Amino acid sequence: MSESEILGQIKQAEADANAMVKQVHIDRKKAVVAAKDEARKIISAAEERANDHATHLLETAREQISEERQKIVLQGRSDANKLLETASGKISDAVDSLLVEFEKVVHAKTEADE
């Protein structure tokens, strides 16, 4: 093999190596782009799942709060009705007591005027 043939082969080998390096860089860039795209998809899916879970938790909490509020309102109404019943039962006693006191005052005033 002549020197020019050897130099030609070396130049060809260098050209092939440069072409391979360029292709490797291109492939690496494509792989990075694909990996970033996949990462964005994963993050987006995770965010969507997190939002769905947060929404579910909020709805559950609202339902629990609503149920608890309803229980409190019902208990308050029950307590108010009991107080009303108790007060209603005492109204006639209070009226009777006031009448007795009024009669005492009127009787005392009448006796004082005589």
Each residue's pLDDT, cut to its tens digit, for the chain (114 residues) gives 788 888 889 999 999 999 999 999 999 999 999 999 999 999 999 999 999 999 999 999 999 999 999 999 999 999 999 998 888 778 888 888 888 888 888 877 777 766
Q: Considering the entire predicted model, what is its pTM?
A: 0.53
Calpha distance 88→80 (Å, rounded): 12
Question: In the prediction, which pLDDT does 90 show?
Answer: 82
DSSP calls for 54-101: HHHHHHHHHHHHHHHHHHHHHHHHHHHHHHHHHHHHHHHHHHHHHHHH
| Annotated domain spans of the chain | 1-87
Query: Which residue in the block uniquely carries the two structure tokens 């130099």?
Result: 7
Question: In the prediction, which pLDDT does 96 show?
Answer: 83
**Paired tokens of 112:** 């004082």
**Paired tokens of 49:** 């799942």
User: How many alpha carbons fall within 13 Å on the CB side of residue 19?
Assistant: 6
Calpha distance 54→11 (Å, rounded): 63
Question: In the prediction, which pLDDT does 38 show?
Answer: 98
Calpha distance 87→91 (Å, rounded): 6
